Structure 1
Amino acid sequence: MRDDLTATPLTAAVVRGAMDLEDTGRGVLPHRLPAWARAQCPDPQLAVSESQPSGVRVAFRSRATVVELDVLPTKATYPGFPRRTDGVYDLLVDGAPTAQAVATGGDVQTIDLATGTSTTRPGEATTLRFTDLPEREKDIEIWLPHNERTQLVALRTDAPVEPWRERTVWLHHGSSISQGSNAVRPTGIWPAIGASAGGVDLVNLGFGGSMLLDPFAARVIRDARADLISLKIGINLVNTDLMRLRAFRPAVHGFLDTIRDGHPETPLVVISPLYCGIHETSPGPSIFDLDALRDGVIRYRSAGDPAERAAGKLTLEVIRAELAAVIAQRAGDDPHLHLLDGRDLYGESDSALLPLPDLLHPDEATHRLVGERFAQYAFGPEGPFGRRMPGRGGERTSDTPMSSAR
């Protein structure tokens, strides 16, 4: 650590994309759900995924040529599974990828998937140091790992820091595919690629295994600052085998009703599931392929039976048809509501060229394809988001406090 660097408090003024910043005593932990919402759902999987800072970044304007960020990551390990790679930190200058870093220290959490128990071994913080930045006024962003819980300990620079101006906020809610699944860097997840192309400020509520039409999630979106909203609905409801057809359509209506209570005219895009061969006609749950696991390969398969659709079990084909019916029913009263068929982002023909490595989650190349296609659809001049953009840079002239949530 250099003695001539100045510390800047890690507050909502420089931490973007988070709903809550928890002081843990060891650092600041970004959460992508507020405390009241976390209290309503004690599910361990949601607790892990919402505390992984997908889409969260330390962002500011400065003439700084040196930036240091002290971080305390939590490395998750799963006995019997291949070791996870270290999370990546992406540095962007004026929106351009400039450098990368990893934090090799931190806590180590060992999770037994068979019993659901876990133990944590404490570790030390790591200093990420970025140097030789251009000596001019510029936007600086450090994107935190999308798949690794990260506490922020300290931020230091060799020049004063100013908050960004307010920008158009795109809030997206989805599954592990939206959180980042098999992407290898935080700016390589499809919502980040879409946000970069659209010139907007991303709030990513993509939660692994947890886009389940939870009422608290709808209320979080209702109360959040959001100029543009999208919801990717379906895959988690199938692979958790959580809901039957009788409950699905009313649940979607209720979710949309709650959001519209806070955002009655905000452009809202509902995205139906991407193509996923194992669940197109076969219901869930999704389970690990144990034969592949014995060979050290992570792969999923469907444990459902297509005949169970008669009992109301959901498949991706059923969900797409139901979502189309819901949006058609609401369209007359809600001209700002739109439906995007997920197969237009990743379809059966794409799966032949870019197969899902584990049969469930896309890889880095597929994230780029999906992000670029979404941006072309949504942010084009005639797209549902493009028509509402205040300017192609996405800047707002509002003097409201800098925060991702109201």
Structure 2
Amino acid sequence: MSPHSRLTTTPLTENLVRGALDLERTAHGLLPHRLPARARAQNTDGQLAMAEAQPSGVRIALRTRATVVELDTLPTKRVYVGAPPRPDGVYDLLVDGHQAGRASVEGGNVLTIDLATGSAVTRPGPVGTVRFDGLPARPKDVEIWLPHNETTELVALRTDAPVEPVPNRGRAVWLHHGSSISHGSDAASPTTTWPALAAALGGVELVNLGYGGSALLDPFTARTLRDTPADLISVKAGINLVNTDVMRLRAFTPAVHGFLDTIRDGHPTIPLLVVSPLLCPIHEDTPGPSAPDRSAMSEGRLSFRAAGDPAETAGGKLTLRTIRRELARIVEQRAAEDPNLHYLDGRELYGEADSAELPLPDALHPDAATHRRIGERFARLAFGAGGPLAGDAPRP
């Protein structure tokens, strides 16, 4: 008898998927997106296309008595030329909000990326299955959080009892936008990225629009934030603007104003928190772009260095110190007419003392322990009593 024979297949539909803004029908099933189709049509950057299709914060959410849950998926796994193999993506199982299992899917497509040349080649692979069994045979909320850093097509869902969507629990929806750190780069699993940890501690429903390498003040991202239902919004901006050396101070200031104006067109009064970059020693006073450290790669390590010239800051090239100063000024200026606009210096989440204790392993991204620290601090500073995103914060 097939191990699947006593299980019932339930169609995967949008009412069973949380955290995605669009579900694209593919030859295999459904591909979750974190940018809507109209925004994707305006994007020409392969990095953003890859990042928004990696389902950070996306989860299958069920109400069921099932003791067995199986999910067939087709992952796309990344390999970087000259770097050590990356671990398989992780699926986290939560039962009534508590960690109850963790697994990975074998097989899948393989995307090989050469950072030196910018080339990328995909090798097709097979569909795999993640299975969780031994669950309590009582009504419960079951969530399967998809790998935050692995493109994942949803193929089939099977259970040994009927399922229905999880009812609305009345939690505030927190919409967050940021860079690869918000995306979850180098976190241990999808529920341990710093935004997922902060959301759990803050008791809010996460929609994570952190895009690796792609928090660049794009107008279509601002419109996405404008049009997505939310009760609370945060925007963490700066590091990718330095990484890519995409603009100078002259363009940065009006771009920030325009980005915030667009968000306020759709969410005129809800709490909006602007977060400046975490400490990143290589770019505090040295502008971008960021470049792969070839000496590290020759040793089988992935690391980065600042390739800009500090002298160019006089001509408007951006450093993290410059960006923090300007973001604080912009928020102070706007807050005179927008009392629900707030600012958080990213160094309160990860600063000098943290860097000495928990240095960034590749000079850009935090490790799993640091994600936990950042998430706990954000929950306290933003969602805690009196925080800008707290339930007791002043409202108009």
TM-score w.r.t. the length of structure 1 is: 0.94
| Aligned residue number for residue 224 of structure 2 | 220
**1:83-127 superposed Cα distances (whole Å, 9 cap, x missing partner):** 111101000111111111111111122223333333322211111
**1:203-256 superposed Cα distances (whole Å, 9 cap, x missing partner):** 111111100000000000100011110000100001111110001111111000
| Aligned residue number for residue 386 of structure 2 | 382
- Say if 1:118 and 1:181 are closer, same or farther in 2 by CA, change over 3 A: same
For 2:335 and 2:56, the matched residues in 1 are separated by 32
**Structure 2 residue aligned with 1:58, among 53, 57, 60?**
60
- Aligned pairs for 1:251-330 within 5 A: 251-330=255-334
| Aligned residue number for residue 3 of structure 1 | 5
For 1:277 and 1:97, the matched residues in 2 are separated by 34
**1:122-159 superposed Cα distances (whole Å, 9 cap, x missing partner):** 21111111111111111111111111111010111112
Residues 1:25 and 2:27 are matched in the alignment: yes
| Aligned residue number for residue 77 of structure 1 | 79
**Partner letter of residue 347 of structure 1?**
G
Query: Per the alignment, in what secondary structure is the counterpart of residue 13 of structure 1?
Result: helix
Choose 36-45 or 78-87, whichever is displaced more: 78-87
Aligned length: 389
**1:28-53 superposed Cα distances (whole Å, 9 cap, x missing partner):** 11011011101101101001111111
For 2:204 and 2:11, the matched residues in 1 are separated by 24
| Aligned residue number for residue 203 of structure 1 | 207
Residues 1:362 and 2:337 are matched in the alignment: no
- Aligned pairs for 1:388-399 within 5 A: none
For 1:189 and 1:248, the matched residues in 2 are separated by 28
**Partner letter of residue 10 of structure 1?**
L
Residues 1:236 and 2:240 are matched in the alignment: yes
- Aligned pairs for 1:32-181 within 5 A: 32-166=34-168, 167-181=171-185
**Partner letter of residue 52 of structure 1?**
Q
What is the RMSD computed on CA atoms of the aligned residues?
1.2
**1:38-82 superposed Cα distances (whole Å, 9 cap, x missing partner):** 110110100111111111111111111110111110112222222
Residues 1:349 and 2:348 are matched in the alignment: no
TM-score w.r.t. the length of structure 2 is: 0.96
Task: Name structure 1 gaps, 5 residues minimum.
Answer: 390-406
**Structure 1 residue aligned with 2:191, among 187, 191, 194?**
187
Task: Name structure 2 gaps, 5 residues minimum.
Answer: none
Is the 2:64–2:162 Cα contact (8 Å) retained in structure 1? yes
For 1:264 and 1:39, the matched residues in 2 are separated by 27
For 2:253 and 2:150, the matched residues in 1 are separated by 34
Query: Per the alignment, in what secondary structure is the counterpart of residue 118 of structure 2?
Result: coil
Runs of 4+ in 1 over 4 A off after TM superposition: none
Choose 240-249 or 378-387, whichever is displaced more: 378-387
**Partner letter of residue 93 of structure 1?**
V
Query: Per the alignment, in what secondary structure is the counterpart of residue 317 of structure 2?
Result: coil
Q: CA deviation at 1:165?
A: 2.3
Q: CA deviation at 1:388?
A: 5.9
